[in-house]
Every structure is written in C-alpha cells, then in structure tokens.
Amino acid sequence: MHGSDQRQPAGLYDPDHEHDNCGVGFIANIKGSKSHEIVRQGLQILVNLDHRGAVGADPLAGDGAGILIQIPDRLFREEMAAQGVTLPAPGGYGVGMVFLPRLKRSRDRCIHSIERAIHAEGGTILGWRDVPTDNSCLGESVLDEEPLIRQIVIAPPQGMTDQDAFERKLYVMRKQSHGKIWYPSRHSEGDETGVFYITSMSCRTIVYKGMVLSGNLPVYYSDLRDERTESALALVHQRFSTNTFPSWKLAQPFRQLCHNGEINTVRGNINWMAARRATMSSSTLGADLDKLWPLIGDGASDSATFDNALELLVAGGYSLSHAVMMMIPEAWNNNPLMDPPRRAFYEYHAALMEPWDGPAAIAFTDGRQIGATLDRNGLRPARYVVTSDDLVIMGSEDGVLPVPDDSVIQKWRLQPGKMLLIDLEEGRIIGDEELKAQLASAHPYQEWLDRTQIHLEDLPEEIGAMSPDADTLLHRQQAFGYTQEDIKQFLAPMGLQGDDPIGSMGRDTPIAVLSDRPKLLFDYFMQCFAQVTNPPIDPIREELVMSLVSLIGPRPNLLELEGANARHRLEVRQPILSNLDLERIRQIENHVDDTFRAITLSITYPASDGAEGMEAAMERLFQQAEDAVKGDYNILILSDRDVNADHIPIPSLLATAGVHHHLIREGLRTSAGLVVETGEARRVHDFCLLAGYGAEAVNPYLAFDTLSDLAPRLGTDAEKLHQNYIKALNKGILKVISKMGISTYQSYCGAQIFDAVGLTDDVLARYFTGTKCAIGGIGLAEIAKEAARRHAITYQGVLQFSGALDVGGDLAFRLRGETHAWTPETIGLLQHAARSGDQNRYRAYAKKMNDQDRKLRNIRALFEIKVSDNPVPLDEVEPASEIVKRFATGAMSFGSISWEAHTTLAIAMNRIGGRSNSGEGGEDETRFKPLANGDNMVSRIKQVASGRFGVTTEYLVNATDLQIKMAQGAKPGEGGQLPGHKVDAWIGRVRRSTPGVGLISPPPHHDIYSIEDLAQLIHDLKNVNPEARVSVKLVSELGVGTVAAGVAKAHADHVTISGFEGGTGASPITSIQHAGSPWEIGLAETHETLVRNRLRGRIAVQVDGGFRTGRDVVIGALLGADEFGIATAALVSAGCIMMRKCHLNTCPVGVATQDPDLRKLFTGQPEHVINFFTFLAEEVRELMAQMGFRRFDDMIGRRDHLDSQAVIEHWKARNLDLSRILHAVTPTAGVAIHQCEEQDHGLDKALDHLLIEKSAPALDSGTPVRIETPVTNTNRTVGAMLSGLIAKKYGHAGLPDGTIHVKLKGSAGQSFGAFVAKGVTMELEGGGNDYVGKGLSGGRLVIYPAKAGNFAPEKNIVVGNTVLYGGIEGECYFRGVAGERFAVRNSGVNAVVEGVGDHGCEYMTGGVVVVLGQTGRNFAAGMSGGIAYVLDEYGDFEERCNRSMVELEHIDEAGPDSGGDVMADMTRDDARRLKLMIGQHAELTGSDRARRILDLWDQYLPMFVKVFPTDYRRALEDQKAASGPAKLEGATVAAGE
C-alpha cells in the first residue's frame, strides 16, 4: 500500500493522533571553530541514542533521524564552483534543502513555486544542486515515499547586507513556496505535491533528515561523510513515533529546533495563533507578516507546530532564547525562590502568549547560538558535558559521546525550566542565571506591570445579585437540568468540604447519546488524558508548577516588542467568579479607564421559537458578538440569567464554544475576553469544558444560589459554602488539566482537550472546530430539543417534578433515574446463577444484560452479530475450558479489596487456567507457594503501577504477566490514595509501608514520561523476568490506537485497552463519569491501527471495562481482541452487590473492606467465580457455533460478522454512525490480524549474560565472586536479569551481603542497577543515567565519577533523574549530585548523595536519604514515611522543602540515643545514624566531601536538617506505645489467616 494512502484517515485511524518522543543531542565547539569532526561526532551521538528510537514492522525503516549543522561553506563553494557558480562570502548566500516529488509534473510545480517565491521577494537563484543520496539503506516501506532531494542556493535581494534581514527574507520565501503549493488546493489524485517540503532555507544552517536509521544517515547522505562538510555545531534527533507510517517531513530537526516531548495544549496554541492574526503587526516584518500565513501546518506534529511558532517570534524580532522562554516559561507564580525581575518578565509575557504546555526538552539553534531548555516540570532528561577542549555535548543521556575522563570539566543536567545557551560568536556558555537576568532587565517589566496589570480583587466592591425566592430557584434548577444528585453528591459536599467528591466502582450508565433522558451538552464530551506519550501531573504534590491565573480581555500584539506596555490587562487568580466579581467586570469601564468595556450578551432565546429556533439564535449571537468586538467592547459576558418561562437558554457550552470559534474565524478573538455567566455549569467537568472551549472566567450563579439555599440546612453560612465550592472547583479543575499534563489554566483555556461522544461532525465543525467524534451522533436539532424539553418540564408544570428535582440516578441506581447495567435484578440473577451453578439462571441474567431493546446502555447494543448460513455443531466448537484461558479478572489491589475476595478470585482463575491480577500493592509472599490442596493463590498477572508498592524482584519473578498500568478506566490520568485507616499491619507489610500511614500513588509513572521511557521500563521488566509477558494497560480515548502501536513498537507483548466503564476503589466522580471512552471505540481503533502498521501479530490485545456477558466477549473478539478482562462481573459473582462504598471501607459483604468484622461477611467461593466464567464461555461457544466459527482465533478481528442494527428507533441514538467502528481493515496477505508472533526484546545483547555466567558459583553455591567489566550508555538495565535469577532461587532474602561484587567503568545506560537483589554490590566508576536503582530490592549500589576527572564531584552530576524509584530495600552511595526526583517513592532504601534536583524524596514511604548538599525545590512533597537528612549550608532548605506533610528538625549530638541498632528507631539515634552513613559513603566512594564533614563534624552537624513526615512519626510513636521500643521499623506482622 502506498504510504501516503496509509496515513489517510479512514475508519477510526486519524493521523492527527500520532505522537512522537525521542532522543535529542547536540555537540558544539564553544569557540565556534568549525570542523568535520563535529559533524562526525554529532552522527556518533545519534547512533548512541539509537535505543531511544524505534523501528516498526520494517527493520530498515526507522521513525526518522536527522542532523542540523551550519552551512558547510567549503562543500557548497566547491560544489557550486564545479557548476561554474561563484558563491558570495559565507553568510551572503542561503541554501534551501528541498524534498521534491518524484513525479515530474508535480515536481515542476514545486520547483516553479519556489523559484517564483524567491523572485517575488527579490532574491536571486544561484543554482540548484542534486543532493547525492544512496537509498540502498532504506527500508522497502519508505522507498515509496522517498523524495527527490535537491538544494537551492539563493543570493539576497540587491542591497540587502544585513544577515538577519536576509534570514527573514528566506523565511518568507520558504513560507510562500509551501503556501502556494499546499493551501490553494490540496493535492488531487495522482498528484504528489504532498511530498514537497523544505527542510531548511537559511543562510546559516542546513538540515539533513529522513526516514533513515540513525546509523545510516551518513550512508544515505554522502555529504555528511564528506570531509568538506564542516560545522561548529551539530544538532541531532532520533524519532520514536507511535506509528510507522513513513513521514519524511516529520523527521527532526526542524528549522530551528528539535524537541523531545509533547505539547499537550497544541490544539489551543494553534487556535490562539490563528486568533491573533488580526491583532498582530510587526515592525521587523512589516508587510511580510501577511505572507507567512497559514503560519502553522507544514507538518502535523506538535513539534513541527512549535517550530512554526518559534520561527515567527524570532522573525518578529525576539532573540531565540527570549522566544523560547515565552513559549516554555518557567513556573514563576508559585516560586518563592525566583528573583522579582525575572518573575516580572514572565508575568509580563504571560499576557502575550499562553504557555506551550507539556513535557519538553527543546534543543535549538539559529546557527550562531545553540541551546536547550526544559519544561517547567523537567519531565524530559537532558545531560551535558563540558570538556577542556571547548566542547559542549548535550544529550538525552550521559555518555552519548565518549570523551576521555580527564578532559571533562563539568558534567551537569538541564534543570526544570532552565536554559543552557552557548554563544559561538562570543565563544562562551551563557548560564541560565546570566541569560535570564539579562533578558529580565532589558526592560522595566515590573514597572510596566505595575502600570498595566489590574487584579480583579483590587477593584472596588460592587453589588452582587442576591439569591432568588424558592420557586424561582427551583424553576431555574429544573430549566438547567439539576438533579437531586447534583445537590446531594456534588454541591453540598463541595460546599462543605471544599473537595471534588469521591466515588467508587465504575460507570454503567449509557453515554449521553444513548440515554432516554435529556442530558446536558457537557455530557457529550469526555476528558482526554495523558497516557504514555506524556505524563499527567500531580497537582497537589507538585502544586508549584500549577497555575489557575487567567487573563481576561484583549491580548496584546504578540510581536509588539516594546509598546505593549500601554495596555491594561485584567488578571484573576482563578477563573470562578463570584457574583460580586462578575459585577466588577461588568462595571469595569467605570473603574479602570476606557481600556476595558464589558458587554453582556444574552444566550437565551424566545421559547415561542421552540427547539427549531436555536440555530437562528446562535447566528444572532455570533453577529452580536462580532458587532460588539468591532464596536470596541472587549469583554463579552455570555449570560443566561434571563432564563424564564418565555426564554430558553442555549446550552452554555454551545454558546461559549460557538462564539469563541466564530471570533477566531473572524480574527477577532484576541481582541476580546470571554466570560460566561451561567446557571448551567455546576460540576467540575462543566467548568473544564467551558474553559477548554474558550471561557476565560465563569460565574456559576445558580450553583451559588443553590448553595445559599442549602446553607441553613447544612448548618453553615452561605459565604463559607461559596468559598469552599470555589475551592473544590479549583482543585477539580487542576486535577482535570493535570490529567493531560497541563499545568496552567491559561494554556488549558481554548485547548479543547476533549473527545466528543455522540455529536455529529457538522455540529463539531461549526461550533467546536477541531474536536473529534468517532461515532457521529446528534445534531443541533436534538441538542435544542433537549434544552427545550428541560424548559418545558420546568415551565409547563409537570406533576412528576413539581416541588422536587429529577432524581438523577447517574451515580447510584434509581428506579426513575438513569438506566444502569447493574440493577437489583441483574445482580440477583448473576449471584444466584454463580452460587447454584444453574445455567438457566445465567441465561436469564445474560438475556437481561444483552437485550437492550427498550433501554440502550452501550454501543454494542446497537450491533448485530450476523449468524452464518452454515452454523457448526456446538460440539465442534473449541471447548469452554480453552476459552476461559483468555479471561482475566481485573486489577484490584489487596488493600482496596479484602484478602478473602482477592484470594478467591486468584484461586478460581488459577484453577481454570485464566489469570488474576495482583493490582497495585504487592502480594504477600505466602501466595507464591501452592497450597496443600493443590490450589494456588498467586496472581499470575502482577501489576506495576505508579506507586510501585511492593514491587520487589521476587514479586516480579512470580508472574506470567507483568502489567504496566498506564491508566485505569475509571480514572485515567490520576494517581490514587489509600487512606491510612485502610493500611493495617498486614497491608502495610505487603506494601512495604507503615501501618496507619496513608499511601499516595503518583499520577504518572515517574519513569515513564514518554514512549521511549515506556520502552525502557518494558525492557527492565523483561530483564527481571524474561519469561513473563510484559503488558501495557491503556484507556480508550481517541488516539489510543496510535499509542498502542507505539506500545507494540516499544516491545510490549500485550496491551490492554480499558473502557471507561472500568471500576475503581476510589476516584473523583468527575473522572468516573467523564474521562475515557467506551471500549468499543478504543478497541476498534487499536486493532485497526495495529493491523495497518503490521504490528498486530506481535502483540496480544486484551480489552476490559464493562464486560458482562458472552455476547460482550464475542463482540470484543470481532472488533479485534484476543483476551478479555472481567472484573466487576467476577466480583459480583463472588458477592459484590455494587454498594459503591469501596472508598469508605464499609462494604457490607466483605469485598472491598479491611474491617475485620465486615470481612467475615464475605461468602464468595472460587466455585462461584468458576461457574460464572464457565457460563460466559458457554455463551461464547453458542454464538460461535451460530456464526460458524470453530476456533476462537478465527473470530478475532472479523468485523464483517458485525452489523449495526437497522432498527434503532431511539430519538438520539438513531443518528449514530457506527461505520467507522465497523470499518473493516483489509489486511495485506500475510499480515496477521490476531496475536501469533513473539516480540524481539533484544535481551541477547544484555550485559547481564556475562554477569550471570561469571556469577555461576555464587548462584549455585553462594561462593563469592568479583566481576569487572566496562559499561556504556547502550548497556541498559544492568543487574536486573541477574537479580531476577537470584530472586527466583532465593526469594527476596537473596544472597549474603557482598556475595556478588560487580565493578564497572564507564557511563552506564538507563536503569543501572534496577531491581538488584540482596547479596549483589554494583560499583560503578563513571556515572549513571536515569532510573539508577529502580526497584532496588536489597542490593548495594556505589557510584562515583572517574578518578581521572578534572572537576569537583560534589558539584557535578553523577546519576540522572528518578533514581531509586520504587526502591524497596538496599543501600546506595552516590558521589556527586543526582537529578530530579531522587528517591521518589522510595520504600526502604538507605542512600547517601551529594545533592539532588527538584522533587527529591517525593512520595517516599520508607528508608533513609542523606543529602550532603543542596536540594532542588519541592523536596519531600507527598513524603509520608522514612526520613531524610539534608545538609543545609545556605539556610534556604526550608524554602525548598514542601512542608505540607513533613516537619523539619535540627539534630543534636546529645539527642536521644538508644545505644542499640542504629537503624532500628527513627525517632532517635539521629546523629549516630547520620555519622555512620556518611562514614560508609566516604569509605565506599572516596568522597572528599564526606571526609570533610566527618572531619569537621561538630561544625557540620548543626547544619543538618532532619525531614520527618508527620504521620510517620505519629505512627511510629503509636507503635512504640503499643509494642514497646524493641521492634519498630520493619517490624514484621503475622500474616493473618
């Protein structure tokens, strides 16, 4: 199939969903000295980053690689001379590197377009050069796509001598060339102009890139091997894309940068750029500015878009570093450590541009300067080395270019939000401090701010509206669809507690479009969330990067470099406006000057127009908005306050999004602010949607009125309720935006981070431009009908509701409420069937579940399974005993459910050959051994979730499947929390934590911020347990298919697609209800994308999230699943009755509780569960027989056996279009459509084979061994495979201390020392990268820099980011500084290090960390256990520490000392313990710093601060009181029954 066709959207696949992450690096000679050696070394870096890229089905086709260098003048001068062309002096000519179509007709058009553009701008074409290429190294799948590559050499317009001006002209020429070809008419049939692309057109730099394996880049481009190719810098990039469709354009570097990471807000950023067009003008570009449009879009990736915007800023006169700081600002507003001028700089620029938010390591250059920066949270790694021979080498990891140890003068890392800049003309490194201080002082930003920035709360008091009388209130509530649940489950708890409420179990109600009930428009949108390609953020623990600041009103001209200071800007600290705040805005004209003029536009329309009137009303609204902006109003308040019997409110979301997009289309959006005054919004989700579609602030007056009305009953005053409610909304909004990895409201605003479910493309295109929906759905007519129906219910007096609100019934079953799958009837029938073994009862159950003729509940209800004309006899169908092996129970942790429930499921699944899942939270090791009766309590699937609780090496080797939970259906993008009262002694022991102390699972895996990080974790786990399948659990959302393809390329053996109906033990209701999508959509997309990418055969696909019957299973199989996860139904058959009280520990049937009395009430038996699964398989067999399938495998992916039912009478559902789900991919012959191959994990290359071989005596008989070996950054996960073997043989206890001693030398690859078991010491001379000591399970790690190094180790970096993540036990000594997130989620490792980056000891629950130097910010966030000692020489530690969960104390030599075991009692013996650990550090690493501290002990000791978690101390003291001082830390507890 032709590549470009493959990328066309069809079915559910959409190229817009593609993601990429990657490896970046550069090398530069600080003094600007050019050489071919730099190019060669750049290419070498690329090769050493190879493992960060990926290959798909075609082993020769990488995802793209490239290099950016300075224009090699010698090469061009000689080459052009050969053509008889004499080039002007260097810098006096530009070179364009052009990808051209092979088809001549198309090619000629492109060439013509370039030449015309150059001439139009006054340039002269000096000549063309055919770039020599050798395509013998290309994969067959990219050959088709290979462009013809030529270079064009251009002289500047007459008289133009300024190089910057010439560079700007070249930019205009390039934009014009592209624009002329791409935009007037998209290429038609047989036209190949889509291939056309100019990689660079500059007088300074040139980019060589392509769909080439990184090692083959110089093979393909012989220029790169040419000695005449000289440069002082080389910027390289290796791409890892989630898909494998070749795209030469999307290879990086782009013109000025390469990017590792993901811009989460790109949709909004694109919109805002477009919205600015009308208000933008530039003194440097002048009339040329207009020639740059369309500004964005010469490549569909976020990185390409970012490059487009950056180019504009630079062309508009900002320096490169200034522009990068505008787009990726540091976290400034919550940072007490930032100096005021810099803060002012950022605050000033915040009004100019919203952040481009997301994980990012950007390396950029304009040919004169080269630099790099990290996002505010430091979510991508970047390490650099400075050598004595003037080289700076930067890369995603350390060791990408080996340099002699003695030439290294600095080894450091990029820190969050920081920038590294090398000015080749000045010949020096400009540090972050200097660079930013200089920029911040270039203008009096604070003065400008003081003059222009208005804070809403500083405006004079206004009069806010009072709450109406009870009748009016009720009517309004009804008109806006309030239910009793809204009041009981949302408003009241939010008002009382100030938190977004928590619920449990999953959602089993229909999506809005299938519901009989009028739903709010908000319900047709699902929140998107981060998975794999970018991490979600923890908005609580990492609050410092979060911001709810919103700027209301017109935005300044982006390219106005100095004059913007005249304009006033209105800032609110958070976007929820009280009635009073809203009046301040409404009256702002009277308070400020004429800068602001607010106008209120009604978003209601006459009820007499009926539902049909809404479209016209929208058009009127658009016109009013447009007129208002043109009439110099610059704050629009969209208001539905005038709703009454005669006026129907337009759904506030429709009005907001519609006006937002209308103004964008008219180029007017940045001329005015958008504020919404609505009675409709009340839940967190509602506000997020309004924000996501453009609302800068929202006033939910009806929610406030309702709270005021509740106040007397709730026994508190209205004001307090309002404040708490706003607080709850704020927290909730932060949580939702952080799920997508977005940290600021400003960049979330307009970012449209939602999938629509059940709306037509027409509605989306017109009012929600850019939003996608997989299944079509209702149009404006039905939306209007729903609004009109609510209005009628209210004002035409319906007895049913008079005096009372609708019951709702979304959260809990209510007979007159929303339809649920789990009802008293279905639960009763299933339980009776499971307990009695009576298949007829099961059939009655399945019938109830499957028959949805009257009430639709899910998409699959609309499918018809086509029976065959040639059914097969039932007894010829694969037996149930085989089919049940495809079933697994869901991931439920021991902790969230009881021991009894957990082991019942495990025993049942083991008996039938299925799989049970440990869930997150470890597993009691007693379960690893079979029981006397032959039963087995082991969970075959071991989950590896973000908390890594109890993830020991022993745990990992006792599994057949290792599941990496990226997201959970009920709460994708969120972490979890196990409250202290659920952590009893037993659970504490299994989770390696302290009983009574709450546990926090972070939202992201801190070792997975991108797809290549995931590949690394897969590699780690595969090393520990090579026999186990490694699985990745994803949640259905649009684009999950491309993520799954990336997962397959990252070598996962198995992927789970979870539907949004999945369950949970506790989650914000906002997430349970409004995030993720039905599995039917996600599975269909996944299967299709994998087949298209020829990856389906090598990965097993499991689906879960609401499977209840055999029919569900069959539909899952037909849509493409190999395996099935069934949790809730299995739990119900074991006794769960859907109390939805899991989070409260009060489960009355002993399932989801740890209360000993309630656990006794558990009555489930393995037989019950087995009965259920057997019935399920039998139902599957019956359907298979009817369809004519004998083998389950034959059924997988056979969508031709599905039809969508023609008989949909439903007023909303009849509009659905299921063709995209049912779109059958026609696979090429020989391409698998179910799993039938194995992944190649490349384990044969592991250094551990050598270690294992040499450790044989130790493994066999415990004889000590010592091994020495060199190591490089391509040796990843060293020590894990060896440790897996030890754990298998000796369990967690391992070998005696020091049995295996491995001495290595060099820069180790990622995950050095991961999961190292007891008895193993790894001593590394050199340095480590990210994830050193991940999951350390008892071993010892000693790392120090090369002894020949020319720098002070304590001032240089020795190990990378996220070191000791999930460490269980063991010791570490690191001579030097560690990166960000040191010891995150450490459960028990004792470590000494000489400095750490931001977020040190985050979420730690045990162990002792000694930091002999400075820490970064946010130290100890979420730290609930263990202790840390920090040497606070500068007295600023308190400011760097997040003290919400810890106390700081000084250590006193004379403090309490037990005289006993120094590690036994963390409440005392501090001085002795500290001294001991520092002593060992000195001894093992030779640390001078440790030595000095010991020498001057009396002087240093007072400078140490002990960081002691409050709850931990309390728990230790309680324990001590209960059991006496003898056994404290690590006290073992009897393993229950």
Partner 1 sequence: MGKITGFKEIARRDGSYAPVAERIKHYQEFVIPLPEAELREQGARCMDCGIPYCHNGCPVNNLIPDWNDLVYDGNWRAALDALHATNNFPEFTGRVCPAPCEASCTLNITDNPVTIKNIECAIIDKGWQEGWIEPKISSRRTGKRVAVVGSGPAGLACAQQLARVGHAVTLYERNARLGGLLRYGIPDFKLEKHLIDRRLSQMLAEGVEFRSNVEVGVTISVDEVLRDHDAVVLTGGSEVPRDMETTPGRELDGIHFAMDFLTQQNRQVAEEHIGDNRPILAGGKHVVVIGGGDTGSDCVGTSIRQGAASVTQIEIMPKPPEMENKALTWPNWPMKLRTSSSHLEGAERDWSISTRSFKGEGGRVTSLELIRNEWKTGPDGRMSMAEVPGSEFEIKADLVLLAMGFLHPRHDGAVDGCGVEKDPRGNVLADEENYMTSREGVFAAGDMRRGQSLVVWAIREGRRAARAVDLHLMGESSLPD
Which residues participate in catalysis according to the annotation? 22
Query: Of the two residues 319 and 839, which places its CB atom closer to partner 1 in the complex?
Result: 839
In whole angstroms, the minimum distance from the beta carbon of 1070 to partner 1 comes to 17
In whole angstroms, the minimum distance from the beta carbon of 1162 to partner 1 comes to 11
Helices (H) and strands (E) in the chain, counts: 50, 54
Query: Of the two residues 824 and 1242, which places its CB atom closer to partner 1 in the complex?
Result: 824
Does position 803 interact with partner 1 (CB under 8 A)? The reply is yes
- Report how far residue 988's alpha carbon sits from residue 772's, in angstroms, rounded to the nearest whole number: 45
Is 123 in contact with 198 (CB distance < 8 Å)?
A: no
- Report how far residue 1141's alpha carbon sits from residue 1065's, in angstroms, rounded to the nearest whole number: 8
Question: Which of the stretches 597-605, 818-826, 950-958, 1336-1344 binds partner 1 when contact is defined by CB under 8 A?
Answer: 818-826
Among 820, 1005, 1022, 1210, binds partner 1 (CB under 8 A): 820
Angle between helices 1079-1092 and 1110-1119 (to 10 degrees): 30
Does position 849 interact with partner 1 (CB under 8 A)? The reply is no
| Beta strand 383-387 pairing with 408-413 | antiparallel
- Nearest C-alpha neighbor of 1156 from the set 987, 1353, 946, 939: 987
Site string for partner 1, 428-467 (x = CB under 8 A): ----------------------------------------
> Would you call 1402 helix, strand, or coil by DSSP?
coil
Query: Of the two residues 1144 and 1231, which places its CB atom closer to partner 1 in the complex?
Result: 1144
| Beta strand 1369-1374 pairing with 604-606 | unpaired
> Would you call 1428 helix, strand, or coil by DSSP?
strand
> Would you call 1466 helix, strand, or coil by DSSP?
coil
Does position 1163 interact with partner 1 (CB under 8 A)? The reply is yes
Amino acid at 610: G
Question: What residues contact 433, with CB distance under 8 A and at least 6 apart?
Answer: none
- Report how far residue 1342's alpha carbon sits from residue 1358's, in angstroms, rounded to the nearest whole number: 11
Question: Which of the stretches 111-119, 1134-1142, 1230-1238, 1316-1324 binds partner 1 when contact is defined by CB under 8 A?
Answer: 1134-1142
Look-up: residue for tokens 């804070």?
A: 455
In whole angstroms, the minimum distance from the beta carbon of 825 to partner 1 comes to 7
Site string for partner 1, 484-523 (x = CB under 8 A): x---x----------------x------------------
Is 385 in contact with 357 (CB distance < 8 Å)?
A: no
- Report how far residue 1345's alpha carbon sits from residue 1358's, in angstroms, rounded to the nearest whole number: 7
Among 267, 835, 860, 1381, binds partner 1 (CB under 8 A): 835
**Most distant CA atoms of the chain, gap in Å:** 94
In whole angstroms, the minimum distance from the beta carbon of 824 to partner 1 comes to 4
Query: Of the two residues 695 and 833, which places its CB atom closer to partner 1 in the complex?
Result: 833
Among 297, 444, 610, 828, binds partner 1 (CB under 8 A): 828
- Report how far residue 1525's alpha carbon sits from residue 1517's, in angstroms, rounded to the nearest whole number: 9
Question: Which of the stretches 136-144, 360-368, 611-619, 1131-1139 binds partner 1 when contact is defined by CB under 8 A?
Answer: 1131-1139
Residue 995 tokens read as: 């009983």
Does position 807 interact with partner 1 (CB under 8 A)? The reply is yes
Among 102, 455, 816, 1245, binds partner 1 (CB under 8 A): 816
Query: Of the two residues 481 and 1509, which places its CB atom closer to partner 1 in the complex?
Result: 481
Does position 985 interact with partner 1 (CB under 8 A)? The reply is no
Question: Which of the stretches 196-204, 663-671, 1099-1107, 1156-1164 binds partner 1 when contact is defined by CB under 8 A?
Answer: 1156-1164
Query: Of the two residues 804 and 1352, which places its CB atom closer to partner 1 in the complex?
Result: 804
- Report how far residue 595's alpha carbon sits from residue 608's, in angstroms, rounded to the nearest whole number: 39
Query: Of the two residues 644 and 823, which places its CB atom closer to partner 1 in the complex?
Result: 823
- Nearest C-alpha neighbor of 511 from the set 1213, 1012, 1236: 1213
Helices (H), ranges, 958-1076: 985-990, 1011-1024, 1040-1049, 1069-1074
In whole angstroms, the minimum distance from the beta carbon of 1154 to partner 1 comes to 14
| DSSP letters spanning 1314-1374 | TTPBTTEEEEEEEE--TTTTTT-EEEEEEEE--TT-SS-GGGSEEE-SSTTTT--EEEEEE
Is 528 in contact with 755 (CB distance < 8 Å)?
A: yes
Does position 1454 interact with partner 1 (CB under 8 A)? The reply is no
User: Is the backbone of residue 959 left (phi > 0), alpha (psi -120 to 50) or beta?
Assistant: beta
Query: Of the two residues 1148 and 1242, which places its CB atom closer to partner 1 in the complex?
Result: 1148
Site string for partner 1, 707-726 (x = CB under 8 A): ------x-------------
Query: Of the two residues 770 and 828, which places its CB atom closer to partner 1 in the complex?
Result: 828
Among 57, 561, 872, 1161, binds partner 1 (CB under 8 A): 1161
Does position 800 interact with partner 1 (CB under 8 A)? The reply is yes
Q: Which of residues 310-369 bind partner 1 (CB under 8 A)?
A: none
Query: What percent helix, strand, coil does the chain show, rounded to 5?
Result: 40, 20, 40
Q: C-alpha distances in angstroms, 213 versus 239, 939, 985?
A: 10, 41, 53
Question: What sign does the CA torsion over 1470, 1476, 1482, 1485 have?
Answer: negative
Does position 1158 interact with partner 1 (CB under 8 A)? The reply is yes
Among 189, 594, 853, 1157, binds partner 1 (CB under 8 A): 1157
Does position 824 interact with partner 1 (CB under 8 A)? The reply is yes
Number of residues that bind partner 1 (CB under 8 A): 41
- Report how far residue 1075's alpha carbon sits from residue 967's, in angstroms, rounded to the nearest whole number: 11
Is 7 in contact with 15 (CB distance < 8 Å)?
A: yes
Does position 597 interact with partner 1 (CB under 8 A)? The reply is no
Does position 1137 interact with partner 1 (CB under 8 A)? The reply is yes
In whole angstroms, the minimum distance from the beta carbon of 838 to partner 1 comes to 9
Does position 1181 interact with partner 1 (CB under 8 A)? The reply is no
Query: Using H for helix, E for strand and C for coil, what is the string for 1196-1254?
Result: CCCHHHEEECCCCCCCCHHHECCHHHHCCCCCCCCCCCCCCCCCCCCHHHCCHHHHHHH
Does position 1256 interact with partner 1 (CB under 8 A)? The reply is no
Q: C-alpha distances in angstroms, 1423 versus 1401, 1441, 1508?
A: 7, 11, 9
Query: Of the two residues 38 and 1138, which places its CB atom closer to partner 1 in the complex?
Result: 1138
Site string for partner 1, 1078-1117 (x = CB under 8 A): ----------------------------------------
Is 1420 in contact with 1428 (CB distance < 8 Å)?
A: yes
Question: Which of the stretches 731-739, 894-902, 1150-1158, 1385-1393 binds partner 1 when contact is defined by CB under 8 A?
Answer: 1150-1158
In whole angstroms, the minimum distance from the beta carbon of 487 to partner 1 comes to 12
Does position 979 interact with partner 1 (CB under 8 A)? The reply is no
Look-up: residue for tokens 């694109």?
A: 270
Query: Of the two residues 872 and 1161, which places its CB atom closer to partner 1 in the complex?
Result: 1161
Among 804, 874, 931, 1496, binds partner 1 (CB under 8 A): 804
- Nearest C-alpha neighbor of 1337 from the set 1321, 1360, 1314: 1314
Question: Which of the stretches 156-164, 792-800, 1188-1196, 1401-1409 binds partner 1 when contact is defined by CB under 8 A?
Answer: 792-800
Query: Of the two residues 451 and 847, which places its CB atom closer to partner 1 in the complex?
Result: 847
In whole angstroms, the minimum distance from the beta carbon of 1412 to partner 1 comes to 48
Among 337, 566, 798, 1236, binds partner 1 (CB under 8 A): 798
Q: What is the DSSP letter of 778?
A: E
Catalog residues that contact partner 1 under the rule CB under 8 A: 484, 488, 505, 713, 797-800, 803-804, 807, 812-816, 820, 822-825, 827-828, 831-832, 835-836, 1137-1141, 1144, 1146, 1148-1149, 1155, 1157-1158, 1161, 1163
